[in-house]
Amino acid sequence: MDNPRQLLKQYLVRHRWAYLVSILSIILSEIVMVQFPHLLGEFTDALQAGRVDGRTLWHDTALLAVVGIGYVVLYGFGQMRNGMLGRQFEYELRRKLFLHWETLSTAYFRQRSIGDLLNHALNDVRSVRDALSGGLNILTNAVFLLASTLVMTFRTVSVKLTLVSMIPIVFVPFLVGWLGPRIRNATRQAQEALSDMADLTEESLTAIRLIKATANEEVEQRRFTERVDAIVRRQMGVFRRSALMQSLIPFMGSLAFVIALLYGGFLTITREIPLGSFVAFTLYLAMLITPLQEMGYVFNYFQRASASLQRLEVLLTEVPDIRDEPGAAPLGRVQGEVVIHLDAFTYPDGTHPALHDVRIRVRPGQTLGIVGRTASGKTTLVNLLPRIFDPPPGSVFIDGHDVRTVTLRSLREAISYVPQDGFLFSTTIGENIAFSKADATREEILEAVRNAAFTEVLETFPDGLDTLVGERGVTLSGGQRQRAAIARALLKDAPILILDDSLSAVDMNTEKQIIANIRRVRRGRTTLIIAHRLSAVRHADWIVVLEGGTVAEQGTHEDLLRQGGIYADMYRLQETEQGVTA
């Protein structure tokens, strides 16, 4: 993945002509603007010599108006073009960032908080955009206004007066070199503090029900206050350094102005330069104060952008640990055979195997039930099929193909996966269900709704499929979210379906209805069902019982009952407590 500096360089090269036009427009605006003091100086000399009449007055006034209008038009056009180009880069950078995040594996997001990532996508990208649009505008304006002013003073006023007056300006580059790195480091620390606050905010809002239910509002307020105080301390460091730069640079300009008044006044008194030239020079110096002050702003822009680019570079150069292997080929037409010969699997950040000695074979079109106690490795096992976590080479096969040797896209297109929480996006029910098949018709969506036993619930909503479900589907119950997620998976109609305890929040009658529908519509297709309630898997062609990360028992429902082991104990317990019938 290209890093942000490469992306920025490529973008500038790609749009070089557009930037050239906007920069030339700003340059021309400054060339026009510096005519103002010159015209005013000539008018002063003419006025002093008594050469001004009505016609001359109107002529000079018109020229000044043309200068003003020309500056506004040219500078406004250049500023607008730079602003548009900066926002287009902001769009491309955010898009690159999001697309890159989608290539990264689950393990990466287990180590990074959502709040921190959002801060990168919002504040860091905005800092780069500000430097590219506003900063470039100011820099171009300041540099060429300064250059144009110096040229005009050398040419029309006095070389000696200009050189003496510019002595304080020589110190500006040294100030920038001294303060620039300090501002950049302070900005990076402030951005990190913002990320910490974003982490806590995202975590607290996600857990707001728990916080209110346990009356821990004061604890969260204290934690939040600590993060905000850290932001204030670090941002005050940025502001102190920025304010120092933004004040010292104009101060150099003010010193130049003082020197110009003293020395220029002396030259005027001694008749070495005319009064009009002195008036013009004071106006030129007044014009110089603005670009010098703007240089302070633009250097702050660029230092902040540099700090943000460093942070973004860390993200965009992150290499996904799960990706297509060299020579990976599409999976092709999938029959649905699943074979697992797993000696051991350990999470990337783990120290002990989560699974070991797992031997399972599912023939095409069969239904496999996977049961076991909590933390026995059920979800870990099914996560290896779509390579949510990478299995060891030669351990997981689909239709005889090692999942490590096929492309991720073709592998995951062949699998419909329904997690236990039944995650929903903050949009309508219909759009959530159609997420797996963007071109699905309304009839296809309704058919999936019926097969997920969701029709009666849907009819209770006035807007039906157009009902907004809120963030993470908050307006729906757990069982309703699960049924919507099952409908989404059934609509995809993939050769392999994985239900990861996706019926845990529905009642027994709804579960039986959903299972019956799945058996009907999934006839001839492979289905893997993880369940705590054994009623959800008793119909399966084969059932695997996991215990401590390994296969403790396997067989049909009847076989496992006859064995009298873990499965039989679980069945008897559920028969007593939950009314599971044989």
CATH number at residue 434: 3.40.50.300
H or E element at residue 555: strand 550-555
pLDDT computed for residue 289 by the predictor: 67
pLDDT computed for residue 48 by the predictor: 62
The set of residues, in sequence order, having a beta carbon less than 8 Å from that of 569 and lying 6+ positions away, is none
pLDDT computed for residue 581 by the predictor: 46
Residue 533 predicted with pLDDT over 80: yes
Structural domain ending residue among the three candidates 447, 465, 493? 493
Same domain, 116 and 177: yes
Structural domain ending residue among the three candidates 316, 350, 375? 316
Same domain, 40 and 118: yes
* pTM for this entry: 0.70
Same domain, 484 and 500: no
Q: What are phi and psi of 366, to 5 degrees?
A: -85, 160
CA geometry: angle 501, 507, 512, nearest 5 deg? 75
Residue 582 predicted with pLDDT over 60: no
Q: How many domains does the chain have?
A: 3
381-391 tens-digit pLDDT: 999 999 988 99
pLDDT computed for residue 37 by the predictor: 66
Sheet holding 526-530: strands in order across? 415-418, 496-500, 526-530, 367-372, 542-547, 550-555
pLDDT computed for residue 529 by the predictor: 95
Same domain, 345 and 437: no
Share of the chain above pLDDT 90, in %: 26
Lowest-confidence segment of 251-260, 269-278, 287-296, 411-420 by average pLDDT: 287-296
Sheet holding 338-345: strands in order across? 355-362, 338-345, 396-398, 401-402
Mean pLDDT, to the nearest integer, of 243-247?
A: 73
Mean pLDDT, to the nearest integer, of 163-181?
A: 74
pLDDT computed for residue 486 by the predictor: 92
Mean pLDDT, to the nearest integer, of 206-219?
A: 74
In a domain, 326, yes or no: no
Mean pLDDT, to the nearest integer, of 21-44?
A: 75
CA geometry: angle 71, 73, 75, nearest 5 deg? 60
Mean pLDDT, to the nearest integer, of 253-275?
A: 79
Mean pLDDT, to the nearest integer, of 397-408?
A: 93
Mean pLDDT of the chain: 82
Same domain, 279 and 363: no
pLDDT computed for residue 580 by the predictor: 43
Q: How confident is residue 357, by pLDDT bands cut at 50, 70 and 90?
A: very high
CA geometry: angle 317, 323, 328, nearest 5 deg? 135
Mean pLDDT, to the nearest integer, of 471-485?
A: 83
Whole-angstrom distance, CA of residue 96 vs CA of residue 259: 52
Residue 69 predicted with pLDDT over 50: yes
Name the nearest CA neighbour of 499 among 407, 395, 421, 564.
Answer: 421
Residue 560 predicted with pLDDT over 90: yes
Tokens of 185: 């480091």
In a domain, 510, yes or no: yes
pLDDT computed for residue 530 by the predictor: 94
Task: Give burial (CB, 10 Å; 0-12/13-18/19+) of 547.
Answer: middle
Whole-angstrom distance, CA of residue 561 vs CA of residue 575: 13
Residue 251: domain span: 4-316
Bridging pattern class, strands 496-500 and 415-418 = parallel
Same domain, 301 and 353: no
Residue 50 predicted with pLDDT over 70: no
pLDDT computed for residue 297 by the predictor: 67
